[in-house]
Amino acid sequence: MEKIRKAKETIGRVILGKDEVVELLFISIIADGHTLLESVPGSGKTKLAKSFAKVMDGHFSRVQFTPDVLPSDVTGIQFFNPKTQEFELREGPVMTNVLLADEINRATPKTQSSLLEVMEEKQTTVDGETLKIAPPLFVIATQNPVEGNHGTFPLPEAQLDRFLFKIDMGYPTEQEEKNILRTYQKNEPFETLTPQISLGEILDIRAQSKNIALAEDTMNYLLDLVRLTREYEDIELGVSTRGALAFMRASQARALLLGNDFVRPEDVKFLAPYVLEHRIVLSMEGAIRKTKSQVIQEVIQEIPVPVETGSVQ
């Protein structure tokens, strides 16, 4: 995990004060997931995605979503070449390793859905031709939480469920912001970034993470959290089985990155807000009284954390 540590430190020289977010991104790609970043404009979401691609020596693509972006602008198109008098494939930006789907909630539902096959199946279909995307594929989508309904199309539950994590980057602290200004006063740290880990090594670590064990008590704790979201009085729609699987994979990835060979209950508790919050739908009464974040914190408090033993079955 030494190379992962160096990669995180390298990104930390460009994206200051967001160590936890960077860690979550590495957990996400190791768990073969995707991440939705939500924050106000100018908080470094685009630079974070570009930095992530650069340190792992991967190909980076960016789609700036607007209402007039078409599905073919994302997946690719067959176009007629008048010189050769033949149709040729023009690959879309999804044929990449790190795809930044910038302001995804500005795209129309039809364009948003064009990402579903890509994110879930790691392939895309252009005029009946299926194109496999070489792993790893990591989608980082961003959205602005303060835009309301002005030219935006909220992501439906089916697409939100495709994201392993939803992360609110938030504002930096006063000291963090001062450090950012000092760092960027004379230099552009992004230009100094160098690859720290290869795509092949990422895939090797991903394979290793699947061998991380879960004790019976830890597995039950994870499932109790998931199942309570389906029964809680303020929640109308709880976490799906796909969400439970994603929760397990993320917990395994975090345990591996921390140097452990088994998942601790603390790994599960730490990841719960990022995995569960965007997968629930509040009831009408619940939405009036509370936010999703408040409800998930209540769910977490309801389930006692098992005593860590380190044993697995």
* Nearest Cα to Cα of residue 287 among 228, 225, 233: 233
Output the tens digit of pLDDT for each of the chain's 313 residues. Answer: 899 999 999 999 999 999 999 999 999 999 999 999 988 788 888 899 999 999 999 999 999 999 999 999 999 988 878 888 887 888 899 999 999 999 999 999 999 988 887 898 898 888 878 889 999 999 999 988 765 556 688 898 888 999 999 999 888 899 999 999 999 998 899 999 999 999 999 999 999 999 999 999 999 999 999 999 999 999 999 999 999 999 999 999 999 999 999 999 999 999 999 999 999 999 999 999 999 999 999 999 999 999 875 555 4
Domains of the chain (ranges, CATH numbers): 1-199 (3.40.50.300), 211-302 (1.10.8.80)
Look-up of token digits 């995804």: 104
Two tokens, residue 54: 């650069």
CA 82 – CA 49 distance, rounded (Å): 37
Closest C-alpha to 63, from 110, 99, 33, 22: 99
User: What are residue 32's DSSP bridge partners?
Assistant: none
Which CA distances in Å does 198 have to 14, 150, 249, 254?
A: 19, 41, 21, 19
